[in-house]
Amino acid sequence: MAALYPFRALRPAPEAASQVASVPYDVVNTEEARALASNNPLSFLHVTRAEIDLPPETNPYDASVYAQAVRNFEDLKRAAPMVHEQNASLYFYRLRMGAHEQTGLAGCFSLEEYDDGRIKKHERTRKEKEDDRTRHLLELRAQTGIVFLTYRASAPVDAIAARVCATPPLYDFSAPDGVHHSVWRVDGHDAAALVQAFAALPALYIADGHHRAASHARAPTTLAEQGIRSVDATRYVAVAFPDTQVQILPYHRVVKDLGTRRPDQLLTSLRQQVRIADGRPTPARRGEVSMFLAGRWYRLTLPAPNRAGSHGDTLDVSVLQQKVLAPVLGIGDISTDKRIDFVGGARGTGELERLVTSGRAAVAFSMFPVSVNDLLSIADAGGIMPPKSTWFEPKLRDGLLVHLI
């Protein structure tokens, strides 16, 4: 079963929603956040990336940043204004990007189910990132980052979504990046029916937001140590999308230097590992990687993966690591090696060309996207996907549905 709970959302007044809504804190760096929030005092980035309102040299993990976040949160509540719902509700949240559309259900979910593995994970988390978001939510007493869940599609949920989303929405706006956001509140019989439908689901899966979920899971213990017991702290806010609607884009790799090799020498070394031909920016199928090197695109055909290993070992990102990044370019651990960086699929292959042409990287690898079925299968088996395997797009916006704890 999957426990689903309506909650009393803290949300912006409808006329302020488009100004408050911001990209998730972890898809932008400080400079990008500062640029996005400039000339917009209502941007929720002032809450999630409060260092943008402090001197540029401020460490993002300094105590002053969390204090600034608290001040900015209180200011935003008054200025937007932010409305704290009197009654607990659920919400349908629709994202539309070009021809792609996906509609998820926003509500609160059980941290007990997260802790015991009924809400399945596919990524490891890093303690320093957990520490940051745990402190942030404890200082604010609010879950400001929404976790992105998926589940195997349910006909009863789809039917209720179709009916509710045919009515006028609570929010309806296009963000600066062109993604359209629509939100509907769900109460009464429909909310009760959704709780029942989710109780029949065999499992939920974290698609995006592993660090947010892990941070939420740490909060109840800390609060209990302070003598604070809150039912809301035992739940976390998320939007759950059916697997049939989730879109995964590729997560590309760029390497900053070739070590001691020249481009022609790199090609010679690569031919001992993979088949190489002239190529195009986007690989056509699984098992192919496009490489941009010295102003040209090449097609790398990866060797067949070892089926005796785990499902995660068969992914293109794993085979590229085993056959190219580690043995040829000397990238042993992509989680810690400073020579490698990653570019989400939404930025396009033009970003890869720009990085290499500008000299900021020496070679770029354009990947074919992982499938949703890969993610579900790996999570069902209790496996872990390689770091930076999936880029989910479009992204939910922070600030529209905040859960106070």
What tens digit of pLDDT does each residue of 70-126 get? 999 999 999 999 999 999 999 999 999 999 999 999 999 999 999 999 999 998 898
β-pairing verdict for 235-242 and 147-151: parallel
On whether residue 30 sits in a domain, the answer given is yes
pTM of the model: 0.93
The pLDDT > 90 percentage for the chain reads: 92
The pLDDT of 163-179, averaged and rounded, is: 97
The pLDDT of 246-261, averaged and rounded, is: 96
From the centroid of its chain, how far is CA 143? 15
Q: List pLDDT tens digits, range 194-214.
A: 999 999 999 999 999 999 999
pLDDT at 1 > cutoff 90: no
- Per the CB < 8 A criterion, the answer to whether 146 and 396 are in contact is yes
In the numeric block, which tokens belong to residue 104?
A: 């998820």
Distance CA 305, CA 45 (A): 42
Question: For position 114, what pLDDT does the model report?
Answer: 95
pLDDT at 171 > cutoff 70: yes
Q: How many DSSP H helices and E strands does the chain contain?
A: 13, 21
The pLDDT of 188-193, averaged and rounded, is: 97
β-pairing verdict for 119-120 and 204-208: parallel
pLDDT at 130 > cutoff 80: yes
Distance CA 174, CA 95 (A): 10
The DSSP string of 303-358 is PPP-TTS-GGGGSHHHHHIIIIITTTT----TTT-TTEEEEEGGG-HHHHHHHHHT
Q: Is the peptide bond before 220 cis (omega within 30 degrees of 0)?
A: no
pLDDT at 221 > cutoff 80: yes
SS3 61: coil
In the numeric block, which tokens belong to residue 117?
A: 């593995």
Residues 152 and 38 in one domain: yes
pLDDT at 398 > cutoff 80: yes
Residues 226 and 88 in one domain: yes
Q: List pLDDT tens digits, range 300-358.
A: 999 998 776 688 899 999 999 999 999 999 999 998 899 999 999 888 999 999 999 99
Question: For position 307, what pLDDT does the model report?
Answer: 73
Question: For position 310, what pLDDT does the model report?
Answer: 82
* Region of 252 on the Ramachandran plot (φ > 0 left; ψ -120 to 50 alpha; else beta): beta
Residues 239 and 361 in one domain: no
- Per the CB < 8 A criterion, the answer to whether 12 and 399 are in contact is yes
Residues 291 and 400 in one domain: no
Amino acid letter at 13? A
Residues 10 and 64 in one domain: yes
Residue 4: C-alpha distances to residues 108, 118, 159, 160, 273 (Å): 6, 13, 17, 15, 49
Longest Cα–Cα distance in the chain:
67
From the centroid of its chain, how far is CA 346? 12
The pair phi, psi for residue 288, each rounded to 5°, is -120, 145
- Say what angle helices 188-199 and 155-164 make with each other, to 10 degrees: 160
Distance CA 221, CA 387 (A): 28
Domain that holds residue 283: 251-368
Residues 268 and 239 in one domain: no
Provide the mean pLDDT of the chain. Answer: 95
Question: For position 308, what pLDDT does the model report?
Answer: 66
On whether residue 223 sits in a domain, the answer given is yes
From the centroid of its chain, how far is CA 74? 26
Residues 156 and 135 in one domain: yes
Residue 329: C-alpha distances to residues 49, 256, 319, 364 (Å): 35, 10, 14, 12
On whether residue 397 sits in a domain, the answer given is yes
On whether residue 387 sits in a domain, the answer given is no
Residues 236 and 266 in one domain: no
CATH number reported for the structural domain that contains residue 287 in this entry: 3.30.1760
pLDDT at 65 > cutoff 70: yes
Residues 96 and 199 in one domain: yes
pLDDT at 176 > cutoff 90: yes
- Residue 298 bridge partners (DSSP): 278, 291
Domain count, the chain: 2
